[in-house]
Structure 1
Amino acid sequence: MKKTQIAAQLYTVRDFCKTAEELEASLNKIKQLGYSAVQVSGIGPIAPELVKEITERIGLTICATHISYDRLVNDLEAVIQEHLSWNCKYVGIGSLPDSYRTSKAGYIAFAEEFNIISDKLASAGLQFIYHNHHFEFTKFEGITGMDLLFQTASPSFGFELDLYWVQAGGANPVDWINKVSGRMQVVHLKDMAIVENNPVFAEIGEGNLNWPAILQACRDSEVEWYVVEQDTCLRDPFESLAISFNYLQNLV
């Protein structure tokens, strides 16, 4: 891992990215922290052309995105053109829609549906990536939803493991990194701490995940982008991004 491979997930600072002016101020802060790239997710209704202009002016790469299910299904050509204009290869979905989560058939149906979308993205030189939470590790007839996705997914269907949520689902992050090796170019990093007997989101290095083993597995799997995300922060989210970045860069 190189410092230039560490990106900030804008969902972490979503409350400060609602307008173009806020986005520019937030991206300037992220650049000053040392990040070279961002994942676009959770920002306000800002024109793609303006997002491109702001990121290029500041000097940040858009390494990946999270796009809504509705847009991926119903507005795919526009999504493709946006990503091509941003020079952003990785097109993600942030969460599995509720309607697919409750059965084995649901997980299989989603994978089959998105195999088609993944193939269309691949034809444009882009890569679909699936971001997990913990509910994918629910078992249906003895097999987890995550395994159902993995087994049904076509080669063009990529993964974006969120290692906090893998751990929260009772699975082993290193095992899953190894399982999706070659099919995961973007990984989500955040730590898990215990506060008053409950698991909470934490800055990387402030919790209990085994980062030396995790990062070695990511290197072995040739992960391209290490994306720092923290869904909720107990301090200023820019400070949280700084703590995580500083921890990661010391492991480079």
Structure 2
Amino acid sequence: MTKIPVCLQMYTVRDDAQRDLAGTLATVARLGYAGVELAGYAGKTAAEVKALLDANGLQAIGAHVGVDTVIGSPAQAIADAKLFGYDYVIVPWIGKPYTESLDGYRKLGAELSAVAPQYADAGLTLCYHNHAFEFDLSEGDKTGLDVLFEAAPDVQAELDTFWVKKGGQDIPEYLKRLSGRVPLVHLKDMDSQGNFAPVGAGTVDYPALFAAAEAAGAKFYMVEQDSCQAPLTPLESIQISIENLRAWGKV
């Protein structure tokens, strides 16, 4: 089986990038990441970021784009995607009133569905990235995340595995539930205290995760760590993550 490319969500190294984007991207490339997922431009212009990615041989796979922009300014989101050449536009976060009720998730699904054809016509895939709060509400055996995806059949999933576990769900089961519509999988480990940890340094069952992700049709793995526990720095943490993935034959 062809290996699924392992990329880095740049939010992980946001502080390093703000200080020295060129040096940070050079480190990401040296460590062996196949590409990146953008989360802002670290104070640079989009054109400057693109030039630095090209200089380091890194491909932008997708970007986290605010829900207001995705829904309200699709032309801008599409133009940015075309500049970088990525295929995935991802909603990374939502707040009230969407999260207050299952009808809020249905409303969001309808709004995303209304603009999804514009992204599809541009050759792009619109995705939604979960946290744990989508699992706080349920209707029978359906969670808020299920309700959202049911209301937005043209929207794909970027499943954040840490938040699935934090939300009390089974990661392989959720990957199975989203089979065929989960092209992006965030790899993010959890220590015994429930904190973020480098991939392979926590409690996530990665053999089961990988088997389920591959069966579900995942196209990219995205290493992400929202925060790093001292004494490890973000750059040290992403090195541990990719070294573990390499040892498992995933890189």
- TM-score of the pair, normalised by structure 2: 0.93
User: Does the aligned pair in 1 maintain the 2:4–2:218 contact within 8 Å?
Assistant: no
Task: Find the counterpart in structure 2 of residue 232 from structure 1.
Answer: 227
Secondary structure of 1:39's partner?
strand
Task: Find the counterpart in structure 2 of residue 129 from structure 1.
Answer: 127
Greater shift, 40-49 or 212-221, is seen at 40-49
Partner Cα separation in structure 2 for residue 2 and residue 167 of structure 1: 27
Task: Find the counterpart in structure 1 of residue 16 from structure 2.
Answer: 16
User: Does the aligned pair in 2 maintain the 1:11–1:43 contact within 8 Å?
Assistant: no
User: Does the aligned pair in 2 maintain the 1:67–1:93 contact within 8 Å?
Assistant: yes
Partner Cα separation in structure 2 for residue 13 and residue 130 of structure 1: 21
Q: 2:202 aligns with which of 207, 216, 222?
A: 207
Q: In structure 2, what residue type is equivalent to 1:16?
A: D
User: Does the aligned pair in 1 maintain the 2:4–2:219 contact within 8 Å?
Assistant: no
1:45 to partner: Cα distance: 3.5
Q: Deviations over 1:102-124 (max 9, x none)?
A: 10110000001001222211110
Q: In structure 1, what residue type is equivalent to 2:247?
A: N
> Which ranges of 4 or more aligned residues in structure 1 deviate by more than 3 Å?
1-4, 140-143
Q: Is 1:183 the equivalent of 2:181?
A: yes
Q: How many residues align?
A: 246
Task: Find the counterpart in structure 1 of residue 148 from structure 2.
Answer: 149
- TM-score of the pair, normalised by structure 1: 0.93
Q: In structure 2, what residue type is equivalent to 1:118?
A: A
Partner Cα separation in structure 1 for residue 25 and residue 217 of structure 2: 27
Q: Is 1:246 the equivalent of 2:243?
A: yes
**Pairwise mapping of residues 74-153 of structure 1 onto structure 2 (< 5 A)?**
74-142=72-140, 143-153=142-152
Partner Cα separation in structure 1 for residue 184 and residue 4 of structure 2: 13
User: Does the aligned pair in 2 maintain the 1:163–1:188 contact within 8 Å?
Assistant: yes
- Structure 1: unaligned runs, 5 residues or longer: none
**Structure 1 residues 90, 58: closer, same or farther in 2, change over 3 A?**
same
User: Does the aligned pair in 1 maintain the 2:181–2:217 contact within 8 Å?
Assistant: no
Task: Find the counterpart in structure 2 of residue 30 from structure 1.
Answer: 28
Secondary structure of 2:190's partner?
strand
1:2 to partner: Cα distance: 5.9
Task: Find the counterpart in structure 2 of residue 65 from structure 1.
Answer: 63
1:26 to partner: Cα distance: 0.6
Partner Cα separation in structure 2 for residue 184 and residue 140 of structure 1: 21
